[in-house]
Amino acid sequence: MTDLTGKTALVTGSVQGIGLAIAKALGGAGARVAVHGLASEADAEAACAAVVEAGAPEAKFFEGDAADPEALGVMMAAVEAWGPVDILVNNAGIQHTAPLAQMPKETWAKIIDINLSAAFHTMQAAMPGMAARGYGRVVNIASVHGLVASKNKAPYVAAKFGLVGLSRVAALEYAGEGDAGSGGVTVNCIAPGWTETAIIQPQIEARAEAEGGDRAAGIASLLSEKQPSKRLSDPSEIGALALWLCAPVAHNVTGTTIPVDGGWTAQ
């Protein structure tokens, strides 16, 4: 059901964390994977090696500043020349917390550029080709903050809400392309809650210290404020969901936003 042999996938922001987990899941199903990010040569090589080790027939690193539309255009042209993009996963993103009144204007602009505008540019470049071939998958990694708000995250929440809206528009525009046999063209969002990534480790360590060194208790304490399950998701779980959304069997799943948040957005 999830055989992606012969398909080419581009996963932005895929040298670590959720992006790398998705790249490995798609590669493990047989897709060639274009790895992307701002990374050292060693980190880029390590990410590609991990994707190949997971089962990808080929993985290649492509550099491109997600905040720069021209750089993204050059990158997209290079990826399309390597292999027409059948699967596009927009995962690249940044975060900065500050009250609205104190949020630097340049920070607002950069978060919107990377978390929202970059997805528009990559989708605009890749989706016409998907439609022409009758098969295409766009999976945009949103966030619970694309469904609910939190204080001190104005640009991030605005970008993620915008990403959900952008995805719905694209899903409607491309819903009639292809058919069940070819797989059709779909656009969906995944909205992770608390997920085990490097970016939250300092918060976990601080809570664990407050709980006498008990990491599990620290995680439960941290998550209890938002996530009823009090359990972190593993990036591989996000990868597994992205893989299913990319399978031909998911041809009629489009325009959705699927939370992976332990009940956060159900409250």
> Among 156, 161, 174, 194, which one carries the catalytic annotation?
156
Based on its alpha-carbon atoms, the radius of gyration of the chain, rounded to whole angstroms, reads 18
Distance from C-alpha of 190 to C-alpha of 245, rounded to nearest angstrom: 10
Contact, 10 vs 88, CB < 8 A? yes
Instruction: Tell me the two tokens of residue 187.
Output: 């656009």
Going by C-alpha positions, the residue among 170, 48, 27, 150 that lies closest to residue 95 is 150
* Measured CA angle at 161 (ends 157, 164), to 5 deg: 145
Q: Is 156 a catalytic residue?
A: yes
Residues whose CB is less than 8 angstroms from the CB of residue 129 and which lie 6 or more positions away in sequence, other chains included? 80, 84, 85, 136
Instruction: Tell me the two tokens of residue 267.
Output: 């409250």
Burial class for 211, CB neighbours closer than 10 Å (0-12, 13-18, 19+): middle
Q: Which residues are catalytic?
A: 156
